[in-house]
Amino acid sequence: MSRIDVEWLGRDLLGKWADERLGGRAKAADPKYQRILNQTMEDHRDRVMGQMHELAADGAVRAAFPESAGGDSNHGGNIAAFAELFLADPSLQIKAGVQYGLFGAAILHLGTADHHERLLPDVASFKIPGAFAMTEKGHGSDVAAIGTTATYDADAQEFVIHTPYPGAKKEFLGNAALHGQAAVVFAQLITQGVNHGVHAFYVPVRTPEGELLDGIVAHDDGFKNGLNGIDNGGFTFTNVRIPRHDLLNRYGAVDADGTYSSTIDSPGRRFFTMLGTLVQGRVSLDGSAVVASKAALSIAIRYALQRRQFNQSSDEKEELLLDYRSHQRRLFTRLAKTYAMSYSHEVLLRKFDGVFSGAEDTPESREDLETLAAGLKSLSTWHGLDTLQEAREACGGAGYMGENRFGSWYEDLDIYTTFEGDNTVLLQLVGKRLLGDFSKQFKGASAASLAQFAAKEFAGRAAAQVGLHVVRQDMHDMGNPARAARELRNTKWQTELFEDRIEVMVADIAGRLRKAPRDDKAKAAAMFNDEQNQLLEVARAWAELQQLNAFNAALERMPEATRKIMTYVRDLFAMTMIESHSGWYQANGLLSGQRAKAVTSTIERLLQRIRPHAEDLVDAFGYGDDILRAPIATQAEGKRQAEAMAHYSELRESGDLPVTEKELRAKAKAEEKARAKEVAAAS
């Protein structure tokens, strides 16, 4: 039997920034950074605050900063290390994310040389803990609509930061309730009577002793569903004055006299460019969700390889949980998705590093990066929750014990689905981009006529495919299930099926939207709203294709035996996705009924093929007992089951195992039968 080269696969999974990732992993294995369960929120906050100082002293967390602030502008490596920190304590990870990835990164990316020199060193050393004050009580996803104002006073050469109504209070900010001494505050920049839209300002909020500065009121969000090691809260500003030079002025500046200038002419594009610099949060959450999924599956699969329950196939020995086909389906389908997401995360990470290092920094590559981050982060954070829950249940009551980790990870990861961009909102961005790209294909003619043309074109193509595809599939498969199964496992066939789904859906949506009036905003919005669920669906489909492509690219570089087995895993990923969209595929004539059934039976066969490699597949993730810290993932359960079996064997051998009533009855019945036979023979 072929076997996976676990060492090779493990090294490949570490990716381009293997050393940095291993560095992050070493921290996760260090007790001083690890979470202690059953602390009150207050104690947990104190502990994490202490850990932050240790992290700062260690220095690795500021890798993305320039050398002047103690870093080495290593954007990719920084995120690789950061993602692994999830396994120490997600509260520590996110508090570090607030300081370095949001507060610090905003100064880095929205500020200029002066800010970097003046401000970054104290951010890097954690001398100045800071908050990232973007979200308001009234506006989270719709950042452009925030209410806080920064009005320029030319006489004083100061900006006046103000909260004009209660809904404009800054809210849900890490470091706001207790520890923040400064904040990057997002506000509407108003100068010379004109509102130039949202800009970021550096605003001191507390003294080093923790006293709030004049005009600033802070509130504490208190106990949350998770991440209680972070002091989330908010600020209300009452005419707080800051010097002109504390506007972070990379994309928009104000002269002493109040004249506004920007390198980006369009206010809309300027806003999105500023927000775009914050994409690293999404990249890192995508990585963290993959880490969480890998860890959860490592625990659940290792447990299922020891735990036995019910004797189905023999009277003496119970079955391993992982030999149940339902257990395999629950865990292996998620394992396959996790591999796909791990490979697509690495693609995203490299793209991110390319843009932020400047190596491949173009408006197009930035846009691509943002779209990819939005799509992947949404799917992986949802997948992380789904996997944690399934893994927990797959371990039964033992999975519910705090020491086995699933629960606290779940509570913490929960918010990853809606912060740094709400998943639903992010998917909508992806969907809009797909629609935009679709119309761009037809440059030249007017937008309306083009959309009409395109819709007809594609609708026609899709309609034509209906018959063709299915007939072709049925002819190909006729009376030859093996041939059908082979075709299902064909890389090109799978990829085209994923692609066709996107093309047909986008064309369908565009076709229906072609009648949207350009002059009636309300009606156009209503028509767009009618398509919202379909748009989200096509965005998911697009992100799934990126995962498949990344998996396929990874297969190409694998040594042969490993590739053979990993191709089963890729197939399981592809079949699982196709099965979940099987209704759509059939209704749109891209999959025959016969072949749809073959997808399900192929999944069953793949589960069996993957079963002997399950341990290797989680070993390659590289998480040992020191990081997982889950007693059920150690060998304790296997030892217990062996003890129980030994106990009964011993009793059986010594003749001390009491006969069961059931056995007695069976024996009596057999004897009676034999007697009846004798009587019959005698008569």
Question: Which positions from 319 through 378 interact with a second copy, judged by CB under 8 A?
Answer: 323-326, 329-330
| C-alpha–C-alpha distance, residues 476 and 594, integer Å | 11
Between 314 and 441, name the residue whose CB sits nearer to a second copy.
314
Residues 592-651 that bind a second copy (CB under 8 A): 593-594, 596-597, 604, 640-641, 643-644, 647
- Give me the amino acid identity at 614: A
Measure the CA–CA gap between 322 and 307, rounded to whole angstroms: 8
Which residues are CB-neighbours of 173 under 8 A, at least 6 positions away?
98, 131, 132, 133, 135, 180, 183, 232, 233, 234, 235
Q: Please identify which residue in 444, 482, 662, 682 interacts with a second copy, judged by CB under 8 A.
A: 662
DSSP assignment letter at 250: S
Binding part of the chain for a second copy, among 174-182, 412-420, 611-619, 668-676 by CB under 8 A, reads 412-420
Amino acid at 181: Q
Binders of a second copy in range 27-86 (CB under 8 A): 37-41
CB of 367 to a second copy, least distance (A): 21
- Give the burial class of 429: count Cβ atoms within 10 A of its Cβ; 0-12 exposed, 13-18 middle, 19 or more buried: middle
Count of C-beta atoms within a 10 Å radius of residue 441:
9
Please report how close the Cβ of residue 348 comes to a second copy at its closest, in angstroms: 22
Smallest separation (angstroms) from a second copy to the CB of 349? 26
Residues 423-442 that bind a second copy (CB under 8 A): 423-424, 428
Residue 283 main-chain phi, psi, to 5 deg: -60, -45
Please name which of 2, 127, 10, 143 lies closest in space to residue 70, comparing C-alpha atoms.
127
Tokens, residue 141: 């996803």
The answer to whether 421 contacts a second copy (rule: CB under 8 A) is no
Stretch that binds a second copy, among 84-92, 360-368, 579-587, 667-675 (CB under 8 A): 579-587
Helix (H) or strand (E) holding 159: strand 158-162
- C-beta of 146: minimal distance to a second copy in Å? 11
- Binding track over 89-128 against a second copy, x by CB under 8 A: ----------------------------------------
Region binding a second copy by CB under 8 A among candidate stretches 78-86, 421-429, 557-565, 611-619: 421-429
- Looking at beta carbons only, is 182 or 599 nearer to a second copy? 599
Q: Are 20 and 94 in contact (CB under 8 A)?
A: no
Among 7, 361, 403, 625, binds a second copy (CB under 8 A): 403
Handedness of CA 80, 84, 85, 91 (dihedral sign): positive
Radius of gyration for the chain, computed over Cα atoms and rounded to the nearest angstrom: 30
Question: 408 or 562: whose CB is closer to a second copy?
Answer: 408
Tell me the number of residues near a second copy by CB under 8 A.
114
Site for a second copy in 288-317 (CB under 8 A): 309-315
Per-residue contact string for residues 176-205; x = within reach of a second copy by CB under 8 A: --------------x--xxxxx--------
Kindly state whether residue 500 participates in binding a second copy, applying the rule CB under 8 A.
no
Residue 525 contacts a second copy per CB under 8 A: yes
Residue 44 CA from chain centroid, whole number: 25
Q: Segment 548-577, which members bind a second copy (CB under 8 A)?
A: none
Selected binder of a second copy within 100, 419, 573, 623 (CB under 8 A):
419
Rounded to whole angstroms, the Cα distance separating 312 from 484 reads 32
Residue 411 in contact with a second copy, rule: CB under 8 A? yes
Mask 211-250, x = binds a second copy (CB under 8 A)?
A: ----------xxxxxx-x----------------------
- 193 or 358: CB nearest a second copy: 193
Q: How far apart are CA 100 and CA 96, in angstroms?
A: 6
Q: What is the end-to-end Cα distance of the chain in Å, rounded?
A: 60
If we measure between CA atoms, which residue out of 230, 201, 233, 229 comes closest to residue 220? Answer: 233
Report the C-alpha gap between 443 and 588 in whole angstroms.
Answer: 28
Interface with a second copy, residue 392, by CB under 8 A: yes
Cβ partners under 8 Å of residue 479, min gap 6: none
Of residues 245 through 274, those in contact with a second copy by CB under 8 A are: 260, 267-268
Q: If binding is defined by CB under 8 A, does position 137 make contact with a second copy?
A: yes
